[in-house]
Amino acid sequence: MTVALAARTHPLRGLTTPLPDAARRAAMAHVLDFDAPHTDTTTHISVVTVPAVRAAGGDARAYLAGAGVMARLGAMLGWGHCAAGRHATCTAGAPAAAVAAGLALGLDVTGLATAMALAVPAAGGGQEAFGTHGESLQVGFAAEAGVRAARLARAGATADPRVLEARLERVGGKPAADFPAAPAVPGGLAVKLFPCCSAMQRPIAALREVRGQVRGEVGAVTVSTPAGTVHPLIHDRPATRLEGKWPGLPAHRPRRRRRVRTEPALPPGAPGRPLSEADLRAKAAACGPDVPALLDGLTWAGGAEVLRKHFPYIPYEGQEA
């Protein structure tokens, strides 16, 4: 909700006019890359499942069901999925959105399995889209695919549930032996302090820490990090604000007068390093001067009212705006 409000005036808003409400809201909530990631699986869970639930008229229970499915699908896909250039938020997101929307629409277990299978054809996305409108739009497409699949399943469409397992195998996923029944999202979600790719959160935090240690002239700054963690950072020389969310870290060996080293184990906002109340308030205020007041005491039902006011999109017939 917070980061979606921050994007109210983003140019993408006008481009999403032809899209259904789930796709629009998911795309707008992700365009700044300020939404909460699940760092264990490289997925952005809420940005897909919440718009799907809202579009289907569901509640927080439906969201938690979809979030739980997405976390587990993301774990099956693993880090290799990201390293191969795929966008796990979409791959895991479309079937998870089908569960979230399907539960909101009253589907039983068989219906939910059918909905997940029907969402698989739209469960795709590549990192080549990063730095363009395509990145947030494909997240929107995943959310909408889930809603569409749930509606089709409720209407009587059939599908073979085995298609999901087959798809996971084709994209390098591996079934996990055991998953905890609770919590819905093992490890919890992170809260980003900086509006950019999750891979940049720790390097930025490290630079901020170093800034407080350095006095006098600085000749250069070198940031070192394992190559696998920055694989999505594909724009070595960002030319637009969208590309600036994915800045590459080119290797170089600058000469410098002295070395200052810092190694933050976790980025700020990670579940193991939660943001302070002051940081959370600052993030809300940065998303818009009216945002802190809009969020104060906000309930699930109240969130729907905020969406109606600030994102007055046309819903599917008979569904919540």
Name the residue with higher pLDDT: 169 or 112: 112
- The secondary structure element, H or E, covering residue 4 is helix 2-6
- pLDDT for position 68: 96
Beta bridge partners of 38: 43
Q: Which range (26-30, 96-100, 264-268) has the least confidence?
A: 264-268
- pLDDT for position 253: 42
- pLDDT for position 260: 63
Handedness of CA 191, 195, 198, 199 (dihedral sign): negative
pLDDT band for 249, please (50, 70, 90 cuts): low
- pLDDT for position 44: 97
Q: Tell the burial category of 77 from Cβ atoms under 10 Å away from its Cβ (0-12, 13-18, 19+).
A: buried
Q: What span, in angstroms and rounded, lies between the C-alpha atoms of 255 and 119?
A: 53
Mean pLDDT of 106-130: 96
Averaged pLDDT of the chain: 89
The answer, yes or no, to whether the previous bond of 183 is cis (omega within 30 of 0) is yes
Could you tell me which residues come within 8 angstroms of residue 153 by beta carbon, excluding any fewer than 6 positions away? 98, 102, 107, 111, 112, 114, 115, 118, 159
Q: What span, in angstroms and rounded, lies between the C-alpha atoms of 231 and 20?
A: 32
Q: Please check the confidence at residue 113 and state whether its pLDDT lies above 80.
A: yes
pLDDT band for 321, please (50, 70, 90 cuts): very low
Query: What is Dmax (Cα atoms) for the chain?
Result: 70
Per-residue model confidence as pLDDT tens digits over 16-72: 988 999 999 999 999 999 999 999 999 999 999 999 999 999 999 999 999 999 999
- pLDDT for position 258: 52
Q: What span, in angstroms and rounded, lies between the C-alpha atoms of 200 and 197?
A: 6
Q: What span, in angstroms and rounded, lies between the C-alpha atoms of 309 and 144?
A: 21
Name the residue with higher pLDDT: 38 or 174: 38
pLDDT band for 217, please (50, 70, 90 cuts): confident
Kindly state the tokens that stand for 256: 């410098």
H helix intervals, 263-312:
277-286, 291-295, 300-310
Q: What is the torsion angle, in degrees rounded to the nearest 10, for the CA atoms of residue 151, residue 111, residue 66 and residue 307? A: 20
- pLDDT for position 263: 75
Mean pLDDT of 286-291: 95
pLDDT band for 317, please (50, 70, 90 cuts): very low
Please, what is the angle between helix 46-55 and helix 21-30, to 10°?
150
Mean pLDDT of 80-104: 96
- pLDDT for position 313: 55
Q: What span, in angstroms and rounded, lies between the C-alpha atoms of 173 and 260?
A: 40
Kindly state the tokens that stand for 133: 């409108």
pLDDT band for 177, please (50, 70, 90 cuts): low
Query: Is there a contact between 52 and 168 (Cβ–Cβ < 8 Å)?
Result: no
- pLDDT for position 204: 87
Q: What span, in angstroms and rounded, lies between the C-alpha atoms of 122 and 144?
A: 9
Query: Is there a contact between 110 and 61 (Cβ–Cβ < 8 Å)?
Result: no
Neighbours of 211 (CB within 10 A): 12
Q: What span, in angstroms and rounded, lies between the C-alpha atoms of 129 and 236?
A: 15
Query: Is there a contact between 115 and 158 (Cβ–Cβ < 8 Å)?
Result: no
Name the residue with higher pLDDT: 99 or 307: 99
pLDDT band for 315, please (50, 70, 90 cuts): very low
pLDDT band for 237, please (50, 70, 90 cuts): confident
Per-residue model confidence as pLDDT tens digits over 133-158: 999 999 999 999 999 999 999 999 99
Query: Is there a contact between 27 and 12 (Cβ–Cβ < 8 Å)?
Result: yes
Mean pLDDT of 234-252: 81
Residue-by-residue DSSP string for 17-50: TTS-HHHHHHHHHHTTS-SPPBTTTTB--HHHHH
Query: Is there a contact between 68 and 43 (Cβ–Cβ < 8 Å)?
Result: no
Query: Is there a contact between 125 and 89 (Cβ–Cβ < 8 Å)?
Result: yes
